[in-house]
A = this chain, B = another copy of it.
Amino acid sequence: MCELLGMSANVPTDICFSFSGLVKRGGETGVHSDGWGIAFYEGKGYRSFHDPIASSDSEVAKFIQNYSIKSTQVICHIRKANRGRVCLENTHPFSRELWGQMWSFAHNGQLKGIKNKELYGYLPVGTTDSEYAFCWILGQLKKEFPTKPTSRVKIRKHIERLSREIASLGVFNMLMSDADNLYTYCNTKLSWLTRQAPFVEAQLLDADVRVDFKKETSDTDVVTVIATEPLTSNEQWTKMKEGEFSVFRLGTKEFTSFTAS
């Protein structure tokens, strides 16, 4: 199993605190030592950092922990390889452009027979099931909507349908973003919490690090963090249910469903 971390915020926010907890699990407090990556959205802009080695040993990860990149959406992944060898091209998050937006995707789980599905328009660079699934999803979206539909609901419904179809092939815990929305699908393991006023102090589970969010935030900030396993010991994380598809936007959970809508 790999581990996922996502963030959705209504103001550009740094993820240094949560990221510091997660990277420990990449080879130190956890076994996910086969590479890691993190993607940041800054407006429509997108940048990502990848390293095909254990995050706990990675100089790039150390740099990211100490360098505050303020972002409204983040997707991060630490990898325990099952399908696909350990190399840069198999390191999540993956990214592709659709409708003039940069989409990114990270996944944990295995998907039996995913490579029998026909791709349309997007091809994987590496050999993971995950990147293949991402290419399939984007291809299906492009096929259904060659130009971007004005209705966000249409897009969301289609992504939900595609997610449920893929989830039927195995284990599919997924974070996907298009810069504006963070789409999540929970098959076996994902938890989330929203931080907003009144802010409190939080203590990481994987490192002796505390942060007092009162000092770091303003009263109107709303920040949701989503992770495979809770990252802090003294906050109330909500475990997602099997089959839960959700959409986060500007820090808030905007939509959830448990069966195809």
Contact = CB atoms under 8 A, between A and B. Distances in A.
Contacts of A102: 125
Interface residues of A, number: 31
Interface string A151-168: 000000000000000000
Given A60-B67, A101-B125, A121-B121, A43 B96 contact: no
Nearest to A122: B97
A99 B59 CA distance: 32
21 contacts: A43-B88, A44-B87, A44-B126, A45-B50, A45-B52, A45-B87, A45-B88, A45-B89, A45-B90, A45-B91, A45-B126, A46-B88, A47-B49, A49-B49, A59-B63, A63-B67, A97-B125, A100-B123, A100-B125, A102-B125, A121-B121
A121 B123 CA distance: 13
A185 to B, nearest CB: 23
Contacts of A124: 100
